Chain A
Amino acid sequence: MAEPLLQVYNLSKSYPVRDQRRGKECFQALNDISFTVNKGEILGLIGESGCGKTTLGRILCRLDTPDDGTILFEGVQIDSLKEKDYRKYRGRIQMVFQDPSSALNPQFRVGEILHEALRSAGIRKPLAQKDRINLLLGKVGLTPALLSRYPHELSGGQKQRICILLALLTRPSFLVADEVVSALDLSVQAQILNLIRGLQKELGLSILFISHDLNVIRYMSDRVLVMYMGEIVESGTAEDIYYHGAHPYTQLLHSALPEQHESLGDEGITDFSDLVLQEDRCIFAPRCPYCSETCLNGKPALSELSKDHLVRCVRLWQSKVEAVSEPSR
């Protein structure tokens, strides 16, 4: 059976923002997020920019601290560990960033970047470093000749391969892949997606795969979380989310795919900064085509539509069957 590797409970994070009109306020980047990543699983995370995807990834890698919540990694609560005690987990949880160009120091040769990463991870013997790098170079489909080049001499795809290699150096069991293909051409995107899937199988990695592209998410993930303004609005298997998305937001994402020849209802122009968060209503209500009185009076809970398919929408409590059989807009 599926064995949990990473468990997240009630994670919240807010950033202070100063607003001239309203005085000092907080922007709730993550609100009460709970989920589990199983061993050897790719969990997809989809949502628009600004919804908190990257914040979540950063917190999991301890690049940011949560306000509230618990993170268990292999059963150990890692969010409360001291820096010294966390050290042995740092290498186990790694992140690949969106923009490979800015993730690599332009003044260092690729080889120097890799050796430095290993040094800081505590592997100091030059021979051991070399072995590890050479082993992984083949796995990510690169030749040793690249080690003496500077990042700007590499193509976008090669740079992203180096970034993946960099993340794998410390032999992690959990990888956060944050929009790793959004800066790449379609044909290169396919190569990198294949590479990540291959590595995941070969090394038994668990991956949180973050993307805004539902097609990519469906192809890559086993299960998917749909996030909207810091909340999980739907979660389920990749097929459930892609073909039977039940939350109006998931349906909106689906209808935005290029091959869906339908026009989007124009709900006006959304400006995230103008949407004042209210505790007691559905977070999607201002954009929702089905918004009703109930949605404005009380926040819907994440409830089970079918096995492992959770949705945060009142319409589904009211008439489960109708909502599911209805085609996506």
Chain B
Amino acid sequence: MLDVRNLCVDVRLHGENYPVLENVYFTVQNGESLGLVGESGCGKSITAASILGLLRPNVHISRGVIDWNGRDLSRIRPKDYQSLRGRELSMIFQDSLSSLNPLMRVGKQLSEAYQIHTPLRGEALRRACLEALEQVGFIDPEATMKRFPHQLSGGQRQRIVIAMAIAAGPQLLLADEPTTALDIITQKKILALLKSIQKQKNMSLVLISHDIGIIGEHCERVAVMYSGWTVECGSVDEIMRDPLHPYTRALIQSMPGTHDKNSPLPTIEGRVPSLTERPKRGCMFYERCPKRCAACRGEIPVIRLESGRRVKCVLYAEGGESRG
């Protein structure tokens, strides 16, 4: 349904072009949930923005295909996007407070979403709003309609944002760190809500998070990103159980989970290279990789495994070093 192939995105800074995304790939099937995971600065949000055509003026897609039901989104005109956004593709942002207009009652903002995308008006519109609020878990939708965003808690606001995002029944919902600002209990509830709506409407979901634990629980497939690369992509079960790329492995190990208290947590030395510091050739993870070798300085192939899993690392190339 959504097939992103070799997506390259450049950003223009101080008169020079820097690649932000290089050959990013992943697919999302109908009704499936995909997790995009990686540290901040690895290009998760830029990927989402490229799909929705929301890139800033100094950022542009230089190569690659974003195949959405047969249409290449990287090539369509901004005007054509208007019929797609909201109706076919929709998005939820991290900060619910800045997604909502503080001067407008919740009910009005929600009905606006319906007015733009649906022919509903008058009483039917009102009913649709009430139903939507009920669906996202509000016990008293009538009262909620009259509230202002600041009168609601973070979790409640995020529920409103979800209701607005799904108003026009999109086929794909991109959720960019939808729960990062929320409490752990609220977080779990919001994610459960997203999942149940997704199932109910047979919608596809792209969940973006820096927390691989969350992705592991709520998604079916995952694409791990590092420094503008997709380093590993496959089913969540496989990747959580047996991460192949050294970065994925380190990411999973750095969760405190039930780690032995008496030993330090495994960490990834160093930090994500900034745009200007990225290596010009070879593997992006080279500087921080515990398994780096001479071959990592050359071209890094994407290795396809039998299960459809893909990993971008020389360790798994034919004739390369075996796993361990």
Give the B-binding residues of A (Cβ under 8 A): 48-49, 155-157, 185-191, 193-194, 197-198, 212-216, 218-219, 238, 252-253, 256-259, 261, 263-264, 266, 268-272
Q: Are B153 and A271 in contact (CB under 8 A)?
A: yes
Q: Are B257 and A263 in contact (CB under 8 A)?
A: no
Q: Given A194-B264, A258-B214, A268-B139: A186 and B255 within 8 A (CB)? A: yes
Min Cβ gap A211→B in Å is 10
Task: Report whether over half of chain B's contact residues are helix, strand or loop; otherwise say mixed.
Answer: loop
CA distance A317 to B150 in the complex (A): 41
For B254, list chain A residues within 8 Å (CB). 186-187, 189-190
For B183, list chain A residues within 8 Å (CB). 48-49, 212
Q: Are B185 and A252 in contact (CB under 8 A)?
A: yes
Q: Are B40 and A258 in contact (CB under 8 A)?
A: no
Chain B 127-170 per-residue mask, 1 if CB under 8 angstroms from chain A, else 0: 00000000001110000000000001111100100000000000
Min Cβ gap B319→A in Å is 31
Min Cβ gap A237→B in Å is 11
The segment from B16-24, B186-194, B298-306 that touches chain A is: B186-194
CA distance A191 to B250 in the complex (A): 12
3 nearest CB pairs, A to B:
A258-B213, A190-B254, A190-B265
Q: Are B138 and A253 in contact (CB under 8 A)?
A: no
Q: Does B10 contact A (CB under 8 A)?
A: no
CA distance A258 to B215 in the complex (A): 9
Q: Given A190-B265, A193-B256: A185 and B153 within 8 A (CB)? A: no
CA distance A218 to B256 in the complex (A): 9
For B312, list chain A residues within 8 Å (CB). none
CA distance A253 to B185 in the complex (A): 7
Q: Are A214 and B184 in contact (CB under 8 A)?
A: yes
Q: Are B251 and A266 in contact (CB under 8 A)?
A: no
15 other A-B residue contacts (CB within 8 Å) besides A48-B184, A258-B214: A49-B154, A49-B183, A186-B212, A194-B264, A212-B184, A252-B185, A256-B187, A256-B188, A259-B213, A263-B192, A268-B139, A269-B155, A269-B156, A271-B152, A271-B156
* A187 in complex: contacting residue of B152, B155, B184, B250, CB < 8 Å: B250
27 A-B pairs whose Cβ atoms sit less than 8 Å apart in the complex:
A48-B184, A48-B186, A49-B183, A156-B40, A185-B40, A186-B210, A186-B251, A186-B255, A187-B250, A188-B39, A188-B271, A190-B254, A190-B256, A190-B267, A191-B267, A193-B256, A194-B264, A213-B184, A218-B261, A253-B185, A257-B184, A258-B213, A263-B192, A264-B188, A270-B153, A271-B152, A272-B153
Min Cβ gap A289→B in Å is 13
CA distance A261 to B218 in the complex (A): 10
* B271 in complex: contacting residue of A48, A157, A257, CB < 8 Å: A157
Q: Are B251 and A187 in contact (CB under 8 A)?
A: yes
CA distance A176 to B89 in the complex (A): 45
Total A-B pairs, Cβ < 8 A: 102
Q: Are A187 and B188 in contact (CB under 8 A)?
A: no
For B113, list chain A residues within 8 Å (CB). none
* A261 in complex: contacting residue of B187, B217, B267, CB < 8 Å: B217
Tally of contact residues, B, Cβ under 8 A? 41
For B213, list chain A residues within 8 Å (CB). 258-259
Chain B 250-283 per-residue mask, 1 if CB under 8 angstroms from chain A, else 0: 1100111111010011111001000000000000
Give the A-binding residues of B (Cβ under 8 A): 39-40, 137-139, 152-156, 159, 183-189, 192, 210-214, 216-217, 250-251, 254-259, 261, 264-268, 271
Q: Are A256 and B156 in contact (CB under 8 A)?
A: no
For A212, list chain B residues within 8 Å (CB). 183-184
For A252, list chain B residues within 8 Å (CB). 185
CA distance A212 to B138 in the complex (A): 25
Q: Are A216 and B267 in contact (CB under 8 A)?
A: no
* A185 in complex: contacting residue of B210, B256, B266, CB < 8 Å: B210
Min Cβ gap A197→B in Å is 7
CA distance A192 to B171 in the complex (A): 40
For B250, list chain A residues within 8 Å (CB). 187
Q: Given A48-B185, A187-B268, A269-B137: A215 and B257 within 8 A (CB)? A: yes
For A253, list chain B residues within 8 Å (CB). 184-185
Q: Are A190 and B266 in contact (CB under 8 A)?
A: yes
Min Cβ gap B16→A in Å is 19
CA distance A256 to B183 in the complex (A): 10
For B185, list chain A residues within 8 Å (CB). 48, 252-253, 256, 264
CA distance A187 to B268 in the complex (A): 6
Q: Are A259 and B257 in contact (CB under 8 A)?
A: yes
CA distance A213 to B268 in the complex (A): 21
For B184, list chain A residues within 8 Å (CB). 48, 212-214, 253, 256-257
Q: Are B266 and A258 in contact (CB under 8 A)?
A: no
Min Cβ gap A140→B in Å is 14
CA distance A286 to B208 in the complex (A): 33
CA distance A197 to B267 in the complex (A): 14
For B268, list chain A residues within 8 Å (CB). 187, 190
CA distance A85 to B239 in the complex (A): 58
Q: Are B188 and A266 in contact (CB under 8 A)?
A: no
CA distance A189 to B258 in the complex (A): 15
For B212, list chain A residues within 8 Å (CB). 186
CA distance A219 to B265 in the complex (A): 9
CA distance A264 to B155 in the complex (A): 15
CA distance A36 to B213 in the complex (A): 33
CA distance A156 to B192 in the complex (A): 30
